[in-house]
Amino acid sequence: MPSKTINPEDWLAALDESGFRVTTVQEILIDIFAHSEYPLSAEQAWDMARQSRPKTGRATVYRTVEKLENLGLIRRVHGYQGCSHFVPTLPELMMLFICLTCGRTDYLDSQPLENLIQHSEDASGHHITESRLQLFGACVDCQQNA
Amino acid sequence: MPSKTINPEDWLAALDESGFRVTTVQEILIDIFAHSEYPLSAEQAWDMARQSRPKTGRATVYRTVEKLENLGLIRRVHGYQGCSHFVPTLPELMMLFICLTCGRTDYLDSQPLENLIQHSEDASGHHITESRLQLFGACVDCQQNA
DNA sequence: TTCAATGCAAATATTTTGCAATTCG
DNA sequence: CGAATTGCAAAATATTTGCATTGAA
């Protein structure tokens, strides 16, 4: 069971290292994404940001989300009708499980996926530079409560 | 190398079996999606449909795409800025490769993925009912032309 | 004949952009 | 101060819906 270590400080450092400014709004948004157990859309993040800072602009949130995605700090995940929701990216390649009942996310051991990708590269001849694996189903808790 | 056998006839049969009518517009759209080598958005499909049938309505295309997705005949794939593009679903579980250079899609042998899912279920305790694996990179041709 | 399917236009929803004001470094 | 960031409003996209008409079974 891989530990989920997401540190907002690291995200701020990443912002800084990339030459961006560390602003209040971005701190708030980083905190929101880094601590969410569920995939969030830009719209949802905007709502949450305004709870602690009412005058936060919608466009700022969309721009920040885009920035965080470009920096590789968050990534899009599939939902039922699109993939406008984001989850934190973890340092290594990870497999993401999303519970269809409660929506909670869980990161699984990714070693099998690395092996699979290696195997697929060899078998197909394609050069694979990025992979997305999302698994859906019922989490341990929701299976028990069913 | 798994063979890509997509038969528009089967899709029409699936429509019929589900109690839907087999109409001209839907035949055209099924043909478009079943034969495309590239992921298509509803908007792109609309453009293509109007080439053979100019008065085709945009809403009809969106409604048909939704229907085909619900029937499991097509599925969303990740693109650069979203996942509003669709590819045909193949009968068995498949791994989809998308070339970042030319956009072509390729279906890879899925046996390794089935093994991986089985392994992940055992290791995590979650019950996995659906999975999406998309691989991105450079296809064999584009590697050579680089 | 009957009701699903369609086209059209309008309504929503979502995301992006222009720009003056603000703020970090 | 100087440039990146922000808020606001407007614009551009994308998707959905209402409704009268059409067409498949």
Find out whether A98 and A82 touch, Cβ atoms under 8 Å.
Answer: no
* CA nearest to nucleotide D6 C1': residue: A60
Per DSSP bridges, beta strands B74-77 and A127-138 are unpaired
- Which of the nucleotides in strand D have any atom less than 7 Å away from a protein CB atom? 4-10, 14-18, 23-25
Task: Check whether residue B19 and residue B69 sit in a common domain.
Answer: yes
Q: List all residues 6 or more positions away from B131 whose beta carbon is below 8 Å from its beta carbon.
A: A133, A134, A135, A136, B93, B113, B117
Could you tell me if A13 and A51 lie in one domain?
yes
Which of residues B71, B88, B105 is at a domain's end?
Answer: B88
Closest CA to A60 of A73, A71, A70, A50: A50
Q: Do residues B71 and B112 share a domain?
A: no
Q: Show the domain range for A122.
A: 95-145
In the β-sheet with A40-41, what is the strand arrangement from edge to edge? A40-41, A85-88, A74-77
pLDDT of residue A55: 94
Q: How far apart are CA A22 and CA A34, in angstroms?
A: 16
B2: closest CA of chain A, how far (Å) = 10
Residue B73 lies in a domain: yes
Task: Provide the token pair at B145.
Answer: 């032309």
B1 within some domain: no
Do B15 and B45 lie in one domain? The reply is yes
* Distance of C1' in D24 from CA in B7, Å: 22
pLDDT of A80: 67
A114 at B interface, C-beta within 8 A: no
Q: Please, which residues have CB within 8 angstroms of residue A68's CB and are 6 or more apart in sequence?
A: A11, A29, A30, A33, A74, A86
Q: What is the pLDDT along chain B (146 residues), one digit of tens a residue?
A: 444 577 899 999 999 999 999 999 999 999 999 999 889 999 999 999 999 999 999 999 999 999 999 998 998 887 767 889 998 987 556 788 888 888 888 888 888 899 999 999 999 999 998 888 888 889 999 999 87
Q: Measured between alpha carbons, how far is A47 from B142 in angstroms, rounded to an integer?
A: 44
Closest CA to A142 of B51, B99, B127: B127
DSSP symbol at A90: P
Using DSSP's 3-state secondary structure scheme, residue A130 falls into: strand
What distance in Å separates residue B124's CA from the closest CA in chain A? 7
Calculate the angstrom distance between C1' of D18 and CA of B59: 12
> What pLDDT digit, counting tens, does each position of A49-76 carry?
999 999 999 999 999 999 999 998 998 8
Q: What is the largest CA-CA distance in chain B?
A: 54
pLDDT digits (tens, 9 = 90+) for A17-49: 999 999 999 999 999 999 998 899 999 999 999
Q: Assess if residue A2 is contained within a domain.
A: no
pLDDT at A2 over 60: no
Is the same domain home to B60 and B122? no
Chain A residues touching residue B112 (CB < 8 angstroms): 115-116, 119-120
pLDDT of residue B4: 55
| Res A3 pLDDT > 50 | no
Contact across the interface for A112 and B130, Cβ inside 8 Å: no
Task: Give A136 to chain B, closest Cα distance, Å.
Answer: 5
A69 shares a domain with A19: yes
Number of structural domains in chain B? 2
Does residue B2 lie within any of the structural domains?
no
Do B130 and A135 contact (CB within 8 A), yes or no?
yes
Higher-scoring residue by pLDDT: A131, B74: B74
Residues B71 and B141 in one domain: no
Residues B100 and B72 in one domain: no
- Asked, for residue A3, whether it belongs to a domain, the answer is no
Domain boundary among B46, B73, B88: B88
Residue where one domain finishes, among candidates B46, B66, B88: B88
